[in-house]
Amino acid sequence: MPTIWLKRAVGALAGGLVVAAVLWFAWPRPIAVDLATVTKGPMEVTVDDEAKTRVRHVYTLSAPIAGKVLRISHPAGHQGGSLHVGDQVTADETVVAVMQPMTPSFIDVRSREELLAAVAAADAAITFAEAEIRRIEVALEFSRDELRRAQALSRSGTISSRALDKAKLDVATNEAGLASARAQLGVRRSERASVAARLIDPSSVPAKTNPNCCIQIRAPVTGRVLKIVQDNEAVVPAGAPLLEIGDPLDLEVVADLLSTDAVQITPGSLAQIDGWGGSPIQGRVTRVDPAGFLKVSALGIEEQRVRTTIDLVGASEAWSRLGHDYRVIVHVTVWKAEEALTVPVGALFRRSNDWAVFSVRAGRASTTLIRIGHRNAQTAEVLSGLSPGDRVVLHPSDRVKDGAAVSQRETR
């Protein structure tokens, strides 16, 4: 009998152990989650976007006349080489560009024949004017001889005073006619030279141009070369940009912000500039343009943008490595609080039209509706529903339900 009872006891114990093992494995384990604590502290909301630096005052030097601009060269006294971007220039001293007259264009066959015919006509007109001069010179010499005889006869009373006056008139008339004929000859020669000048083509231009005929363009301000628009020798029209000059230390930041963000910014707002490869730089908004413009994003989306200008604050050494048209990231502060109750935005989810979080109490998740205020990329301001020290679930999965057991995920 004792043996039978012993066997029964051992069997019952084994069965109990099996049942306990099944219950242990079947019992739901707490879900491992990431937890965060609701805290009070400083918080700020910023408008973040890409921007670029620019020299505040950029001077674009243009060609004053149409002509051939030579390769951008150093001023007199510097030997060889070209003026490069970043070189120092001095106001009214540094010669940044030299211009020469343009080479005449080619003449088509029809135009050349017409011009040759015009030259021949001009030559004939010159011949005619020269013959007219010789005719008037002969008439003038004859009238002068007649005047001398009339004067001699007048002294002896042989002719009347009217005949003497007629001789004087003939001399004056012929002298005026000679002056007119000589002027006509000058006109014909000038017309011939004008037509002949139109026959000049590139093959007739000398290889070297007189350097005294050139125009030297000097730097209007002291600074550095920011950009060379026309680097090589070329024929340019009047007003064509040649290069840009400015002071790289006189920088400002220009950001094209979304109009929905720009309306939250006012002149004087603080900003932080980073993303340029150096330490963050402090800035201050100086201007928000009153008019926006349409800009197409990299994804092809049309966006209404507003240009916002930011001044750099502090010592220039902090941004001395920045230059013109450098890419930066701006963070413009639109709201700031020193003691704000905050929760990570990763804990928020929507429940109907409200915001909610899974708060953890006694190891179990509980859905808690909250009201939030300002929000940035990391945290949101809690207006009601949570208290400092409350624990919330970060990025809750679909396994986390109301009342589910949760535990802090171990970090390595």
Residue 412, pLDDT above cutoff 80: no
Residue 79 — pLDDT band, cuts 50, 70, 90? Answer: very low
> Whole-angstrom Cα distance, residue 59 to residue 125?
54
Angle (deg, nearest 10), helices 161-197 and 109-155: 160
Mode of pairing for the β-strands spanning 354-361 and 349-351: antiparallel
Mean pLDDT computed over every residue of the chain:
85
What does the alpha-carbon distance between residue 397 and residue 347 come to, in Å, rounded to a whole number? 11
Query: Comparing C-alpha atoms, which of 70, 360, 97 is closest to residue 243?
Result: 97
> What confidence category does residue 86 fall into, taking pLDDT thresholds of 50, 70 and 90?
confident
Domain ranges of the chain: 31-43+338-408, 46-55+249-337, 59-103+207-246, 109-204
Q: How many CB atoms lie within 10 A of CB 375?
A: 17
pLDDT of residue 16: 63
Residue 81: what pLDDT? 47
Whether residue 6 has pLDDT greater than 90: no
pLDDT score at 40: 92
Question: Is residue 274 within 8 Å of residue 280, measured between CB atoms?
Answer: yes
* Domain range 59-103+207-246, CATH class: mainly beta
Least confident of 68-77, 164-173, 177-186: 68-77
Q: What pLDDT sits at residue 73?
A: 59
Question: Which class for 45: exposed (0-12), middle (13-18), buried (19 or more C-beta within 10 A)?
Answer: buried
Beta bridge partners of 351: 354
Q: What is the pTM of this model?
A: 0.66
CATH 3.40.50.10860 matches 46-55+249-337: no
pLDDT digits (tens, 9 = 90+) for 15-37: 666 555 555 454 567 888 889 99
CATH 2.40.420.20 describes domain 31-43+338-408? yes
C-alpha of 111 from chain center: 44
Going by pLDDT thresholds of 50, 70 and 90, the confidence category of residue 10 is low
pLDDT tens per residue, range 323-352: 899 999 999 999 999 999 999 999 999 988
**Residue 125 — pLDDT band, cuts 50, 70, 90?**
very high
- Output the pLDDT for position 11: 65
| Residues making up the chain, counted from first to last | 412
Beta strands in 38-157 (DSSP E): 39-55, 59-62, 67-69, 88-89, 95-100
- Residue 346 near residue 310, CB atoms below 8 Å: no
Please give the single-letter amino acid code of residue 175.
E
Which tokens go with 234? 């070329």
What CATH architecture applies to the domain 109-204?
Orthogonal Bundle (1.10)
Q: What is the mean pLDDT of residues 74-82?
A: 46
